[in-house]
Structure 1
Amino acid sequence: MVIPVIGVILVAMAFNYTNGFHDAANAIATSVSTRALTPRAALVLAAVGNLLGSFLGAKVAATVGSGIIGLHTGGAGLLVVFAALIGAIAWNLITWYFGLPSSSSHALIGGMVGAAIAASSTVLWAGVIDKVVIPMVISPIVGVIAGYFVMLAIYWIFRHKNPGKLNRGFRWAQTCSAAGMAFGHGMQDAAKTMGIVVLALQVGGLQTGSSIPLWVFFVCAAVLSAGTYAGGWRIMRTLGRKVIELGPPQGFAAEVTASVILYVAAIGFGAPISTTHTITSAIMGVGATKRISAVRWGVAGNIITAWVLTFPAAGAVAAAAYGVSALFV
C-alpha cells in the first residue's frame, strides 16, 4: 500500500499548491491594492506567514482528518480520498480561471462528502454540520458586521487626523495586518491538507492514530507557501479592486477583522472555515461604512454564487472522479 499512499499524498500536494495560488489573494490583495506592499514583497510575506501558521493548525487538521467522513482501510478508502482531491482541485482551477474567490476549504470538504457518498462510505453528517456548515454560514456574517464596526471605530478614533499622514501610517500598519492574515491562512489551509495526508496514511495502513508526523507539517506548509508565492493575480484583482476601492485604513480594518475570526475558529473550535469567505465579507463590511452603494454588489453577488456552488459542485466532480477511477481499479 506504500505506492498508492504516496500517489494520494502527491495529489494532496497538488491540491495544496492550487490552494496556495488560489488563496494567495486572501492574505495580500488589500495590502497590494492600497500600495502598502509591492506584489512580490506581499507574496513573500504571505508565504512565510503560511509556513509559520501551519504549526498551530492541529485542531483543524484533526477535524478534516477524522471528523468529516469515515473510511475503511485499504485501496477503496484511498480511492475516496483521491477522488475528493480531484474534485477540489478541479473547482479551484475553474474558479481561479474566472477570477472568483471561492473557498478551497469547502471545495475540499465538498469533494470528501461527494466521493464518500459515491463510494457508499460513511459521512459524519453531525461533524459536517457542526464544523463546516454552521461556521460557513456564521463566519461571513460575523465578517461583515465586525468589519463594519472596526472601520467605524477607526473613523472615530482618527477623525481629527490629517488624511495624508493617516494613510501613510496605515500603510505601515498593513504590513502587520497582512502578516496576521497570512498566519491565519496557514493555520487554516495548510492544516486542512495535513488532515488529508494523515487520513491517507491511516487508510493506507501506514499510521494508527490521528497525530501529525513532523514531516507532514513541513511538507504541507512548504508546498502551500510555494503555491502562495506563485501568486493568484486573477483573484487578487477581484478582491483588491472590483469589490470596492480600498484605502490603507480600510485594508487594515478588513485584514485585522478577518485574522481575528480565523484565529478564533482554528484555535478555539478547530473549525475549518474559509479564509476566502472571511476576508471577502470583512471587505464588504468595511466598504459599507462609506455608503452601501460603495460596494459593487454585482461583483459581490457573483462571489456569493460561487460560494453557494462550491460545496455541491466539488462534491459532484469528486463523485464522478470516483466512478471513473473505480472502473480502472
Structure 2
Amino acid sequence: MIIFLFALVVVFAGAFAFLNGFRDASAAVALAVRTRALTPTVAVLLAGFFNFIGAGLSAALALAVSQAWVQLPAGENGLTILLAGLLSAVLWGIYTWWRGIPSSSTHALVGGLAGAGIASAVVGGYGVGGVDTSLLFQVVLPLLLSPLMAFAGAYLLVWPATWAARYTPPNVVNSRSRRAQSIAVGAVALAHGLQDGQRTSAVLLLALLASGLSDGSEMPIWVALFTAVLLTAGTLAGGWRISYTIGYRMIRMDPLRGSVAQLYSAAILLVGAVGLHWPISTTHTVTSAVLGAGANQGFPATNRKVVIRVLMFWLITPAVTAAAAFVLALSLSPLAAL
C-alpha cells in the first residue's frame, strides 16, 4: 500500500508542477506580449527554457526547504496527508485558471497540507509538524509583505525611469523598453523556476521520507529532472486566461512601465530565492508590481473590480484549500489504516 500511495503522490506532484507552470507562465509572458515586446510563441519558448534551468537549479534549495518546511508522519499516514494536500491545490489551481485569476500555488499547497494534517489528527492519526510556522512564514507574511514591497517599489521606480527618458523620443523609449522586457521575461521565468521548483521537489522528498525510500540527506537526480520537465511542459502549454487578466483586464500598461514592473519583480524573486532563501509567491509579486507601475500614471488605468476580485481570491486561497484537503484527507483516511 505504501508503494501505491507513493506512486499517487508522484502523479499528483507532477500534476501540481505542470499546473504551476501552466498558470504562472502568465507572470513572465503577459506584459511582454501585451506591449508587443515578444510574440506569444517566442515569449513562451523563452519562459519555458529559463523555467527549466531555474527548476533544475532549485534542487539544491529544495533539500533545505524540505528539512525546514513541515514534518510528516511516516508511512501511509504521511502519504495520505501529502496526497490530500496536493489534490486540493491542483483542484483549486484548475478553478482559478478557469476563472482567469492569478493566485499562489504555494499558498494553496501549504493550506492544503494544514487542512489534511488537521483531518489526520481528528481521526486519531498524526498531524503535520511545523505547519504553524509554514503558515506564518509562507502564507501570512508573504501574503502581506511581498505584494506591498512589489507594489510600492514598482510605483516609486516609475519616477526615475520616466525622468531618465524625459528627453528621449517616445518611439526610442518604447523600443528600448521592449528590449528590456525581453530580458525580463527570462529573468522572471528563471526566478519562477527557482522559487516554485523548490515546492514540488520538496514534496517529492517528503514523500520519499514518509515511504522510507530515502533518508533525506540528498536530493535524487530524478526528482530534480521530474520537476523541471513538468514545470517546463506546463509553461510551454501556457495558461492564456490568466495572461489575459494580467495583461489586458487589470490595467493598461506601456512598455516603459512594463519593463520596470518585470525587472523589479525578477530582482525580488531572485534575491528571495538565492540570497535570502525566502519562499515568495511569483504570482503575487509580479501582479502587485504590474499594479504598482501601472498606477503611477497621469490617468486612471486600473480596473478596480478585477483587482478586488483578484485580492479576494488571494485571501481565501489558503482557507479554501485547507477545507478541501480536510474533506479529502477524511475520505482517504481508510487507506492510511490499511
Report TM bin, short chain: over 0.9
Kindly state the Cα deviation for residue 268 of structure 1 after the two structures are TM-superposed: 2.6
| Contact 2:44/2:238 (<8 A) preserved | yes
Aligned to 2:50: 49
Q: How far apart are 1:240 and its partner, in Å?
A: 0.5
CA distance in structure 1 between the aligned counterparts of 2:15 and 2:235, rounded to whole angstroms: 13
- The match for 1:204 among 202, 206, 211 is 211
Does the aligned pair in 2 maintain the 1:59–1:270 contact within 8 Å? no
Q: Look up the match of 2:235.
A: 228
**Counterpart in the other structure of 2:293:** 286
Q: State the Cα distance separating 1:210 from its structure 2 match.
A: 4.7
- The aligned amino acid for 1:12 is A
- How far 1:320 sits from its partner (Å)? 1.0
How much has 1:246 moved relative to structure 2? 1.4
Partner residue, 1:261 = 268
Contact persistence 1:132–1:272 (CA under 8 A) = no
The residue aligned with 2:83 is 82
- Whether the 8 Å CA contact 1:57–1:267 is kept in 2: the answer is no
Determine if contact 1:60/1:191 at 8 Å carries over to the other structure.
yes
User: Matches of residues 9-158 of structure 1 in structure 2 within 5 Å?
Assistant: 9-58=10-59, 61-62=62-63, 64-120=65-121, 121-124=127-130, 125-158=132-165
**Where do 1:270-281 residues align within 5 Å?**
270-281=277-288
Cα drift, residue 13 of structure 1 = 0.1
**Amino acid in structure 2 at the alignment position of 1:256:** L
**Number of the residue aligned with 2:124:** none
Residue 8 of structure 1 corresponds to 9
Question: Structure 1 CA distance, aligned partners of 2:138 and 2:107?
Answer: 11
The change in CA–CA distance for 1:292 and 1:105 in structure 2 (over 3 A counts) is: farther
Give 2:202's aligned residue.
195
1:315: how far off?
A: 1.0
String of CA shifts for 1:271-301, please: whole Å, max 9, x gaps. 2221110001001110111047322222111
Structure-1-length-normalised TM-score: 0.95
Counterparts of 1:302 and 1:59, CA distance in 2: 36
For the residue of structure 2 that corresponds to 1:293, the secondary structure is coil
Deviation, structure 1 residue 64: 4.9
C-alpha contact (below 8 Å) 2:58/2:193 kept by paired residues: yes
> Closer, same or farther in 2 for the Cα pair 1:317/1:156, shift >3 Å?
same
- 1:258-280 superposed Cα distances (whole Å, 9 cap, x missing partner): 11111121123322221110001
- SS of the residue aligned with 1:209? coil
The answer as to whether partners of 1:65 and 1:210 remain within 8 angstroms in 2 is no
Asked if structure 2 preserves the Cα contact closer than 8 Å seen for 1:27 and 1:178, the reply is yes
**Which stretches in structure 2 are left out of the alignment for 5+ residues?**
122-126
- CA shift for structure 1 position 173: 1.6
The aligned residue for residue 190 of structure 2 is: 183
Matched to 2:308, the amino acid is G
Measure, in 2, the Cα distance between the counterparts of 1:250 and 1:76: 49
Q: How big is the shift at 1:62?
A: 4.1
- What is the CA RMSD across the aligned residues, in angstroms? 1.6
Contact 1:27 1:182 in 2 (8 A): yes
Deviations 1:122-142 (A, max 9, x none): 341124313442122110000
Distance in 2 (CA, whole Å) between partners of 1:63 and 1:78 is 20
Q: Are the equivalent residues in 1 in contact too, given 2:108–2:318 (CA < 8 A)?
A: yes
Q: Which amino acid aligns with 1:61?
A: A
Q: Structure 1's 189 and 305: CA in aligned 2 closer, same or farther, altered over 3 A?
A: same
Unpaired segments ≥5 residues, structure 1? none
Cα distance, 1:178 vs structure 2? 0.8
1:246 paired with 2:277, answer no
| 4+ runs deviating over 6 angstroms | none
* Alpha-carbon offset, residue 59 of structure 1: 6.7
Aligned-partner residue type, residue 122 of structure 1: V
